[in-house]
Structure 1
Amino acid sequence: MNIFRHRLIGLPALALLIATAGCSSSDDGARAAVPGPGAKVTKLCRNLDKVLPSKVDGESRNDPEPASALTAGWGSPAIILRCGVSQPPKMIDPKVADGGDPDAVGGGVNGVDWLMEKQDDGAYRFTTANRLAYVEVTVDKERDSSTVLVDLAPAIKKAIPEGIAD
C-alpha cells in the first residue's frame, strides 16, 4: 500500500530529524531548474507564487535564476522552492513506507505532508505529498528546516489543494 496516497499523520521521526538536523539548498548560486508541469499544475503553482511569504526563516525573498512563477527563493545561501516537480521515486518506494530507508522519511508539518530525503552531501530535500501538485523545498544545511516548513505551510495549504497529484 502506498502510504502517500493516504493522509499522513505527522511522524515523530520527522519532527525529531528536522529539529536536530540542518538542511541544504541546491547551491549558493541561487539557480534552480524550472519544472515543466502540465497546464493544471502550472495554474496551481502560479497561485502558490502569488501567496508565498515575503520572508522565510527570517530571510527576504530573492528568487533564483532563471526567473519563473514555478520557482522561488529566500536568503543566501538560498532556500529554494520548486513547484510542479515530478513525484520523487522514493515516494512510492516500499522501503520508505515501511520505515526501512533512513534517508527518506514521511511526515507532516502544520497540515502539510512531506517526504524528507537526505542528500549525498548531508542536506535534505522536502517534497509535498497528498497535494494536487508536488512542491519541492531545499534548505541550506545550516538552517532550521522546521522553521522553513512552518513558514511555507499556510501558502501551500491555500494554493495547492489536498489530493493525489497526476
Structure 2
Amino acid sequence: MNFFRHRPLGLLAPALLIAVAGCSTADDSDAVAVPTPDGKTAPLCRDLDKVLPRTVDGQSRRDPEPRSAYTAGWGSPAIILRCGIVRPPKMVDPKVAQGEDPNAIGGGVNGVDWLMEKEDGGTWRFTTSGRLAYVQVTLPKKLSGSDHSAQVLMDLAGAVKKAVPEGLASMRY
C-alpha cells in the first residue's frame, strides 16, 4: 500500500508551516551533486528537464554547476531539483508509513505525492513518491514559509506529472 496516496495536501500544509523555517540546500552554493540514474530512469529525467517551468515560486531558472539534464535550479540561492536519485531510506520506513516519524511526512500536492524529510542541521527536502523516477527538491533558507514550499511543489507538479509516469521507481539504493 502506498501511504502517500491517502494523505491530502491539508496534512502536508501544517507540517510545512513548522518544517520549512529551516529549509536550505546542502551548502547554498552553485555546485550540486549530479545523480546517476539507471537506464530506465535517465530518459524520464531528460524528458522532465525539457518540460520544467521557466519560473518556480517567482524565481527564474538558473541551473547549478555542473550543468546536467538531471539537475535544475531557480533563483539565488537556488531551489534545487535533482532527478534520478536513489530511493530515500525513509520512503520504506514503517514508522513514516504509520505517521510515527516526526522527521518525515507524506502528502500530495496537485496530483504528485511527496515525502518531506527533515535533514541533519534542520534542512528539509521533498522527494516524489509513486513515480517511475525519484525527483528531489531542496529549498534554500530564504524560503522560510509554507506558502513558498507549497508554491514550489505546485509549480513543479505539472512537469512531474507530464514527464514522470506513476509507478514504482527503481529499487536501487
Q: Give the TM-score normalised by the residue count of structure 2.
A: 0.89
Contact 2:106 2:115 in 1 (8 A): yes
Contact 2:7 2:106 in 1 (8 A): no
For the residues of structure 2 that align with 1:62 and 1:123, how far apart are their CA atoms?
Answer: 21
Structure 1 residue 13: Cα displacement: 3.0
Match of 1:151 among 142, 146, 155: 155
Segments of 5+ residues of structure 1 without an aligned counterpart are none
For the residues of structure 1 that align with 2:29 and 2:163, how far apart are their CA atoms?
Answer: 28
The residue number in structure 2 matching 1:13 is 11
For the residues of structure 1 that align with 2:33 and 2:100, how far apart are their CA atoms?
Answer: 30
1:51 aligns with 2:55: no
- Mapping of residues 7-156 of structure 1, within 5 Å: 7-10=5-8, 12-22=10-20, 23-143=23-143, 144-156=148-160
For the residues of structure 1 that align with 2:67 and 2:8, how far apart are their CA atoms?
Answer: 33
AA matched with 1:113: D
Structure 1 residue 24: Cα displacement: 2.0
AA matched with 1:135: V
Structure in which a larger fraction of residues adopt strand: 1
For the residues of structure 2 that align with 1:8 and 1:163, how far apart are their CA atoms?
Answer: 16
For the residues of structure 2 that align with 1:41 and 1:165, how far apart are their CA atoms?
Answer: 8
SS at match of 2:121: coil
Structure 1 residue 8: Cα displacement: 3.6
Q: Any idea what the Cα deviations from partners look like across 1:38-86, whole Å, max 9, x if unmatched?
A: 1220000000000000111111111111110000001111100000000
Structure 1 residue 19: Cα displacement: 4.1
Q: Which runs of 4+ in 1 moved over 6 A?
A: none
Structure in which a larger fraction of residues adopt helix: 2
SS at match of 1:49: helix
Structure 1 residue 26: Cα displacement: 2.5
AA matched with 2:83: C
Structure 1 residue 14: Cα displacement: 1.3
Aligned residues: 164
Q: Any idea what the Cα deviations from partners look like across 1:113-159, whole Å, max 9, x if unmatched?
A: 00000112222100000000000000013312111101100000000
AA matched with 1:73: G
Structure 1 residue 12: Cα displacement: 3.1
Q: Give the TM-score normalised by the residue count of structure 1.
A: 0.92
